[in-house]
Structure 1
């Protein structure tokens, strides 16, 4: 049995005649000719095998078949139009939500600035922030639980597309009156007699710190161990010690009296990247937010390609 499916133009013409009760006014509302409206209605009636309107010189009224058809077809047409508007809103960034996974430091420092920028440019977009461990970011993006991830990842991370934002280099963070601030970079071996504020072994940063000390041939004997970069920086600011942290810790330096110098011999670098799922098309909102996040990160964290040695020194 052949399916009987009116086209969208026929339905729009039928809707206009029903709502306006007149073929000429319906033609004006659709910016077409009265003959075009009449032709579309005639084709629709032939398709359905029933007359839809009783026409007189003074008025147009629905037939019984027309009333039955209108009761079912017009709500469906309204749903189609609402669906089209919703998709256009998504494409034109008038609505939508982007879910971002980030490690706690970036979630607490960079993403609030991103929220401000997105609200300014796209006030109807919503962001959902998930502050999770770095090892949880790629799986959440890969499985569709988040649209976008930011952090440091293995180059061969499976199932994600990776976009490098900047180089991240291991640095030593010190109080502004520390002797290290007079130098451009600090060899790892110079840390041998320093009171080290280290992150705990659960952190990937701790692994890089241990590698740096081992490569320099000196033992790592932390003076203090903490879980969070914010805590390490507070201890540095108080003069309790020096901390070995990556460049993106600069994002947490706002207003703090702390200086930082890159560590050398060896130079340990990695990439800070944005990731999206490889097998999922990114929404227009995700693409827009990804570009804005890239700009915010670059404004808040120096790229070590430029040998930044900032801070509040």
Structure 2
């Protein structure tokens, strides 16, 4: 077993200096004198047998080893903080931390209303939202980084319990002044000759659509591509093209964009709650989970 010859205070000192790029600013943040802070950094570097910081009269920068170690140091401190908060949850329902992972459209449009209701009932509970793509949301729940998730993938994962909440259809996002803006629906085949905006090939939305449309003789071709739905909406609003997006993604923040149902075929995704089968929810997480069940209703 490797012997650890430094403490959490030393890790905190290193992270503070790395983030502030200044011994003076880091010392002020930690309420330490600069000599005391320097001693902690020296102790950490000695224990590791490597220099983590390059010091000059004007600035402080990370060495290659320091950059690599910074990520691990942050993860260690965050993990300890979460562990302490979770332990407190098990002994008292007066304090705690709930971490929810969800896709960005849920984080922007569905989750805030429920979190507001939850915060009103449990004002001392801290809430953390991991808003990432569908694959990252699933990975966060599997790894235990999130108590549970709201996602449209995970039903096939053997270690995940997927509880369907609601079904969401795909719409064609276009500007209000577009010639199709007043139509009741648009067929997928009609998009073959239009300039389309798509999300990244690594996106869950893109994978779902590519699979569902594989049988079409004439399929829409992406002329522009953005990593996230928000970026795609910005390109649509700028008039660069049209985008096929889940209806929940259309927000009031893009008032010039409307959504027209896409048909032939009609494509839907099932949004559900995902949780690890072998990991019971801690008390506050269970309360929020139940609130989402009741607020959104069970899909049929």
TM-score range relative to shorter protein: 0.5 to 0.7
1:6 alignment counterpart = none
Greater shift in the superposed pair: 223-232 or 289-298:
289-298
- CA 1:149 to 1:201, structure 2 compared with 1: closer, same or farther past 3 Å? same
State the secondary structure of the residue aligned to 2:240. coil
Superposition deviation, residue 245 in structure 1: 0.9
2:275 alignment counterpart = 276
Superposition deviation, residue 136 in structure 1: 2.5
Pairwise mapping of residues 202-213 of structure 1 onto structure 2 (< 5 A)? 202-211=202-211, 213=213
* Distance in structure 2 (CA, Å) of the matches to 1:137 and 1:192: 32
1:232 alignment counterpart = 232
2:262 alignment counterpart = 263
Superposition deviation, residue 186 in structure 1: 1.4
Q: Is the 8 A contact 1:213 1:220 kept in 2?
A: no
- CA 1:136 to 1:283, structure 2 compared with 1: closer, same or farther past 3 Å? same
1:89 alignment counterpart = 92
Superposition deviation, residue 98 in structure 1: 0.9
* Distance in structure 2 (CA, Å) of the matches to 1:199 and 1:295: 32
The question of 1:288 aligning with 2:291 is answered: no
TM-score by length of 1: 0.60
State the secondary structure of the residue aligned to 2:181. helix
Gaps of 5+ in 1: 1-84, 306-313
* Distance in structure 1 (CA, Å) of the matches to 2:216 and 2:180: 18
* Distance in structure 1 (CA, Å) of the matches to 2:146 and 2:239: 39
Superposition deviation, residue 117 in structure 1: 2.9
Measured against aligned partners, the alpha-carbon deviations of 1:154-183 in whole angstroms (never above 9, x if no partner) come to 432221221211112222111112233322
1:136 alignment counterpart = 136
Measured against aligned partners, the alpha-carbon deviations of 1:232-284 in whole angstroms (never above 9, x if no partner) come to 1122122221111112213x344522211221111222201111121122233
Superposition deviation, residue 203 in structure 1: 1.4
State the secondary structure of the residue aligned to 2:289. helix
Q: Is the 8 A contact 2:188 2:219 kept in 1?
A: no
Q: Is the 8 A contact 2:134 2:203 kept in 1?
A: no
1:103 alignment counterpart = 103
Q: Is the 8 A contact 1:113 1:296 kept in 2?
A: no
Extract structure 1 runs of 4+ deviating beyond 6 A. 295-298
Q: Is the 8 A contact 2:189 2:219 kept in 1?
A: no
Pairwise mapping of residues 1-313 of structure 1 onto structure 2 (< 5 A)? 89-90=92-93, 94-211=94-211, 213-250=213-250, 252-254=251-253, 256-294=255-293
State the secondary structure of the residue aligned to 1:198. strand
Note the aligned Cα RMSD (angstroms).
2.7
Larger radius of gyration: 1
